[in-house]
Amino acid sequence: MHPSKWVLVFILAAFSVVSAEAQAVPDNASVAAGPVLDAAGPRQRVAIRSVYLVSCAKDNIAGTGFLLSNGLIVTNHHVIGTCEASELLVISSSSKRVTVTQRIFDEDRDLALLKPSEKLSGGLELAAVADPLPGTAVSTWGYPFLYNGYYPLLSVGYIAGYRDELRPGSKKVKRIIVNGAFNHGNSGGPLLIAQDNKVIGVVVATYHFFPEYVDTTIKTMKEPHGGIFTGAFSVTDANGKRTSLSDQQVVGIILEQFYEKTQVMIGEAISASELRHFMAERKKELP
């Protein structure tokens, strides 16, 4: 086998670890949940029961969702993918499976509301404070990398600032910048003020530690005739000069990115104000 093929096998194996494929629920939790629950504080400990794993198996996507006190489950639009309500898999922290009868979504805000087929106990409230000050300690509970223990995992950080995401049609969506460890699978989880149970945002993204061209190259490699081992890749420098790359150079660039940029502590959440606006706009469709 060509040496670069061995390296490519390694890369693809690494990516399979973070894929959103369904996994079996274990017989016991893989982390000691007690100390983590204590760290969350008495008010937020109750909130954990309102956090759900949400999966669209058809699109091989999984993320997090949370129950509001009005009986609806909130998540991201990109978490539900192209799945219809009946195709979504929703599981509580106690391994209870919940079926969904309706989905309402907003692609621009990347938000979705799911109507469960039954009344669920618990539920979170939106915080009265619209925009907590930068430096405010925050946390989220979710299922990064489709972690499937009894309890969702805790991620902590602080608010670093705010920005407006410009969407098609000049629509601006307010996002909270968080210095914290958000990973694939945390999408759709509730952003909470530390040790509180009030929602200030909906986790939506983690910053990619690869330049865009690396992501494009990886996606191209996955295609049946995408260009790997054909010498079809090239780079363009700041002066516009294009240089062809060998297949081995392409693999080397990707491994270098893995080596140098694997620690990321920046994520984003959609402001709770956007969730309020979304629900107000679609009020007639809500139960």
Task: Answer with the residue of higher pLDDT: 190 or 217.
Answer: 190
Domain definitions of the chain by residue range = 3-15+209-260, 31-207+264-285
Q: Which CATH number fits domain 31-207+264-285: 3.60.110.10, 2.40.10.120, 1.10.10.1100, 3.60.60.10?
A: 2.40.10.120
* Mean pLDDT computed over 202-224: 68
| pTM flag (> 0.85) | no
Which tens digit of pLDDT belongs to each residue from 8-30?
333 333 333 332 333 333 333 33
**pLDDT value at residue 281:** 92
Structure tokens at 3: 């040496």
Cα–Cα distance, 35 to 39 (Å, whole number): 6
Q: How confident is the model at residue 201 (pLDDT cuts 50, 70, 90)?
A: very high
Q: What distances in angstroms separate CA 23 from CA 133, 142, 148, 214, 225, one per listed residue?
A: 39, 16, 8, 28, 30
**pLDDT value at residue 4:** 39
State the alpha helices, DSSP H only, in the chain: 3-16, 33-47, 77-80, 212-222, 247-260, 272-281
Predicted confidence (pLDDT) at residue 106 exceeds the cutoff of 90: yes
Cα–Cα distance, 44 to 104 (Å, whole number): 27
Mean pLDDT over the full length of the chain: 77
Q: What distances in angstroms separate CA 5 from CA 2, 14, 255, one per listed residue?
A: 5, 14, 13
Residue 197 amino acid letter: N
Q: Given CA atoms 43, 49, 188, 286 in this order, what sign does their dihedral have?
A: negative
Residue 74 amino acid letter: V
Cα–Cα distance, 64 to 121 (Å, whole number): 18
Predicted confidence (pLDDT) at residue 31 exceeds the cutoff of 60: no
Which tens digit of pLDDT belongs to each residue from 132-191?
999 999 999 988 876 666 678 888 899 999 998 887 766 889 999 998 878 878 999 999
Predicted confidence (pLDDT) at residue 221 exceeds the cutoff of 70: no
Residue 250 near residue 228, CB atoms below 8 Å: yes
Residue 192 amino acid letter: L
Residue 14, helix vs strand vs coil: helix
Q: How confident is the model at residue 99 (pLDDT cuts 50, 70, 90)?
A: very high
Cα–Cα distance, 134 to 115 (Å, whole number): 34
Cα–Cα distance, 59 to 56 (Å, whole number): 6
Residue 242, helix vs strand vs coil: strand
Predicted confidence (pLDDT) at residue 1 exceeds the cutoff of 70: no
State the alpha helices, DSSP H only, in 125-271: 212-222, 247-260
Residue 74 near residue 202, CB atoms below 8 Å: yes
Predicted confidence (pLDDT) at residue 6 exceeds the cutoff of 60: no
Cα–Cα distance, 186 to 275 (Å, whole number): 17
**pLDDT value at residue 100:** 96
As a whole-number percent, the residues of the chain with pLDDT over 90 amount to 39
Q: Which of 271, 65, 285 is nearest to 172 (CA)?
A: 271
**pLDDT value at residue 74:** 98
Q: What distances in angstroms separate CA 277 from CA 3, 174, 258, 281, one per listed residue?
A: 54, 11, 39, 6
Predicted confidence (pLDDT) at residue 208 exceeds the cutoff of 50: yes
Residue 170, helix vs strand vs coil: coil
**pLDDT value at residue 261:** 52
